Structure 1
Amino acid sequence: MFMLILAALFGAVYLHFRRKDRRMLRNGVALVAAVGCALLGVVEILTQVVPGFGFVTLLIVLLLPASVLVLSGFLIANGVTMLRREGRRLGNMLSLLAGLAIPALPVIAVVLVVTGDPYLITLAVLLFLATGYAGAAFVIFLSYAAAYGRMTHQEHPAAVVVLGSRLIDGGVPPLLKARLDRALEIYRQSEQKPLLIPSGGQGPDESRPEGEAMAEYLLGQGAAAEDVIPENRAVNTAQNLRFSQQIQDDAGRSGPLLAVTNNYHVLRAALLSRKAGMRAEVTGAKTARYYVPSAFLREFIAVMKGHMFLHVLLFLPFLAFSVLVLIAGLNAG
C-alpha cells in the first residue's frame, strides 16, 4: 500500500509539472517514478492475495538477463539494417554500438573485479554506476518522449514551422516528406490558415537550401503562396526555431507557433523551444521503424550533452561512493 501512496504522490507531482509546462524533462522523472511505484505496489498486493504469484514474479526477474540479450540482438540487427540502408556514418551506428556494449560491459566489469586490484575494482564499480545512471536517464527520456509525442495541442497555431533535414539529390526524401505532410494536414484542418515556415539552410552536401525544397513541395501540394515563407539559413534545431519565430513576427502572424518534426525528435525540439523562451509546442510525424532506435539514441545523447552540468552534479554522489570503495580496497590491502 505504501508504494501505491507514493505512486499517487508522484502522479500528482507529474500532473502539476505538466500543467505548468509540458516541455520539461523533470516531468519524465515524476512520470517514471509514478509508474514504477504503481507497478511495485500492484505486484506487492498480488503477491499477498494470489497464490503462487510470488513465483511468477521471481520467474520474470530470472528472465530479465535473457530479455537483455534479446534487446542486444535486436539492436545489433537494427544497426546492420541502418548501415545497409542509411550508410556508414557514426549516427547510423549507434544502435549497433549499443547492442554490442550491452553484453560486453558486464564481462569487462567481471574481468576488472577478478584482478583483485583496488583501482581496477573501483573502475568496475564506477562503470556499473555510470551504466546504471545512463540507463535510468534513457528510460526517463524515452518514456517522456513517448508521452509528450502523444499529447494533443489544443491551441490553433498562427504559424507552423517544419524543421528541416538533409535533402537527397536536391529533393525531399521520405523522412522530410513525412514532416511536410503532417504540416499540410494541420494546415488543411485549420479554418484560419496558419503561416507555413519550412526551415533549413544548405548543408555542405546539399545542392540547395532545405527550406527552398520544402517550400516547393508545400506549394506543389496545394498550400497557398501567401501562406508559405521559407527560412533558408538555419543549420540546427535551435536556429530553425529562432529564425522561424522572427519570420512569423515579421509577417505579423501573432499567436502560438507549432513546430513539426519526426516523432523521435519531438521532445528535444520542445526542450529547445522552452530554452529559447518561445510560446511553442511540437508535434511529430511518423518515422520508418528501422530508423527509430538509432534516432532515439542520437537524440538522447544530444539531450544529455545539453544538460551536461546537471548530470555531472547528479553523478557526484556515485563518484564519491566509488572513491570510498577505492579507499576501503587500499586499506584492506
Structure 2
Amino acid sequence: MFSIILALILGGSYLYLRRRDARMLRNGLVLVAACWFAVTGVSQVLAQWFPWTQWITLGIVALTPLAVVVLAGFLISNGLRMIRREGRSLGNLLSLIAGLAVLVLPVIAALLVITHNPVAIGLAALLFFLCSYFGVVFVVFLAYAMVYGRMKHTVSPASVVILGSQIINGKVPPLLRSRLDKGLEVYRRASAQKELAPLLIPSGGQGADESRPEGAAMADYLVAAGAPSEHVVAEEKATTTAENLQFSATIAQDQGRGGAMVIVTNNYHVLRAALLSRKLGLEAQVVGSPTARYFLPSAFLREYVAILTEHKVLHALLCLPFVALTLFLTAALVLASS
C-alpha cells in the first residue's frame, strides 16, 4: 500500500511540474518513478489477493536474460540496416554499438567476478553501477521523449520555426520534408484562427557537403507548397540546434513577431529541442513530425548521447558516489582476503 500511496504522490507531482513547464527532463524522472511504484504496489496487492500471481512476477524476472539477448539482437540488426541505408558514420553506428555493448558487458563483468581478485570484482561492481545508472537515465529520457512528443501545443504562435537538417543536391530529402509539412500544418491551422498569420522561419546554415544553406532550400519548398513568400523568412547561418533557436528568435523579433513560437522538428528530436528552448528562455512549444521506423533507434540514441554531453559535469558528479562505493567495497574485499 505504501508503494501505491507514493505512486499517487509522485503522479500528482508530475502533473504539477508538467503544468508548470513541460520542458524539464526531471518531469520524466518523476513520471518513471511514479510508474515504477505503481507497478510495484499493484503487484504487491495482487500477490496478497491472488498468491498465484507471484509466479508471473518470477517468470518475468527469469525471462530477463532472454529479453536482454532479444534487445541486443534487435539493436545489432537495426545497426546493420542503418549502415546499408544511411552509410557508415558514428551516428548511424550507435544502435550497432549499443547492441554489442548489451551482449558483451555482462560477459566482461562475469569474467571479472570469477577471477576472485578483489580489484577485478571491484571493477565489475563499478561496471554494474555505471551501466545501471546510464540505463535508468536512458529509460527516463526515452519515456519522457515519447510522452512529450505526443503533447498538443496550446500556444497561438507568432512564429513557426522549422529546424533544418541535411539537404541533398540542394533539395530537401524525406526526413526534412516531414518537418516542413508539419510546419505548414501548424502554420495553416494558426492562420485560420487569428488575423495575423504566423511567420514561417525555416532554419539551417550550409554544411561542408551542402550546395546551399538548408534554410534557403526549405524556404523554396514552403513557398512551392503554397505558403505566401512574404510569410517566409529563412535563417541561413545556424550550425547547431541552439543556434537554430537563437538566430530564429532574433529574426522573429526583427520582424515584429516576438511572441510565442512553435518549433517543429522530427519526433526523436522534440525533447532536446524543448530543453534547449527552455534553457535559452524562449516562450516556445515543440512539435514533432513522423520519422521512418528503422531510423528511430539510432536517432534516439544520438539524442541521448547529446543530452549526456550537454550535462556531462552533472552526470560525472552523480557517478562519484558509485566510484566511492566501489572503492569501499574493493578495500573491504582486500582486507577480507588478507
Q: Same fold (TM over 0.5)?
A: yes
User: Secondary structure at the residue paired with 2:263?
Assistant: strand
User: Secondary structure at the residue paired with 2:63?
Assistant: helix
1:257-276 paired onto structure 2 within 5 Å: 257-276=261-280
1:95-174 paired onto structure 2 within 5 Å: 95-174=95-174
The equivalent residue for 2:22 is 22
Instruction: Give 1:87 deviation, angstroms.
Output: 0.2
The equivalent residue for 1:4 is 4
User: Secondary structure at the residue paired with 2:236?
Assistant: coil
CA contact (8 A) 2:178 2:289 kept: yes
TM-score of the pair, normalised by structure 1:
0.98
The equivalent residue for 1:290 is 294
Quote the Cα distance in structure 1 between the aligned partners of 2:258 and 2:315. 37
Quote the Cα distance in structure 1 between the aligned partners of 2:5 and 2:37. 8
1:199-218 paired onto structure 2 within 5 Å: 199-218=203-222
CA contact (8 A) 2:155 2:285 kept: no
Which one is further off, 54-63 or 262-271?
A: 54-63
Instruction: Give 1:254 deviation, angstroms.
Output: 2.9
Letter in 1 for 2:148: Y
Letter in 2 for 1:104: V
Indicate which of 203, 226, 232 corresponds to 1:222. 226
Quote the Cα distance in structure 2 between the aligned partners of 1:19 and 1:213. 37
Quote the Cα distance in structure 1 between the aligned partners of 2:11 and 2:313. 27
Instruction: Give 1:61 deviation, angstroms.
Output: 1.2
1:139-183 residue CA offsets vs partner (Å, 9 max, x unmatched): 000011011111111111110000000011111000000000000
1:245-267 residue CA offsets vs partner (Å, 9 max, x unmatched): 00000000131011100000000
Letter in 2 for 1:290: Y
* Consecutive unaligned residues in structure 1, runs of 5 or more: none
Letter in 2 for 1:244: S
2:316 aligned with 1:312, yes or no?
yes
User: Secondary structure at the residue paired with 1:331?
Assistant: helix
2:93 aligned with 1:89, yes or no?
no
Indicate which of 196, 203, 225 corresponds to 2:200. 196
Quote the Cα distance in structure 1 between the aligned partners of 2:164 and 2:234. 11
The equivalent residue for 1:329 is 333
The equivalent residue for 1:253 is 257
User: Secondary structure at the residue paired with 1:282?
Assistant: strand
Instruction: Give 1:68 deviation, angstroms.
Output: 1.3
1:261-287 residue CA offsets vs partner (Å, 9 max, x unmatched): 000000000010111111111100000
Instruction: Give 1:111 deviation, angstroms.
Output: 0.9
Quote the Cα distance in structure 1 between the aligned partners of 2:106 and 2:185. 47
1:181-209 residue CA offsets vs partner (Å, 9 max, x unmatched): 00011111122321000000000000100
Quote the Cα distance in structure 2 between the aligned partners of 1:226 and 1:60. 59
Quote the Cα distance in structure 2 between the aligned partners of 1:237 and 1:40. 39
Letter in 1 for 2:209: D
Instruction: Give 1:51 deviation, angstroms.
Output: 4.3
Letter in 2 for 1:200: G
Instruction: Give 1:50 deviation, angstroms.
Output: 2.1
The equivalent residue for 1:33 is 33
Count of equivalent residues: 333
User: Secondary structure at the residue paired with 1:160?
Assistant: strand
Alignment RMSD (CA, Å): 0.9
CA contact (8 A) 2:249 2:258 kept: no
Letter in 2 for 1:149: G
1:281-308 residue CA offsets vs partner (Å, 9 max, x unmatched): 1100000000000000000011011111
User: Secondary structure at the residue paired with 1:82?
Assistant: helix
* Consecutive unaligned residues in structure 2, runs of 5 or more: none
Instruction: Give 1:332 deviation, angstroms.
Output: 2.1
Letter in 2 for 1:308: K
Quote the Cα distance in structure 1 between the aligned partners of 2:319 and 2:6. 24
Percentage of identical aligned residues: 57
Quote the Cα distance in structure 2 between the aligned partners of 1:203 and 1:244. 18
The equivalent residue for 2:282 is 278
Which one is further off, 149-158 or 285-294?
A: 149-158
Letter in 2 for 1:19: R
The equivalent residue for 2:186 is 186
Letter in 1 for 2:70: V
TM-score of the pair, normalised by structure 2:
0.97
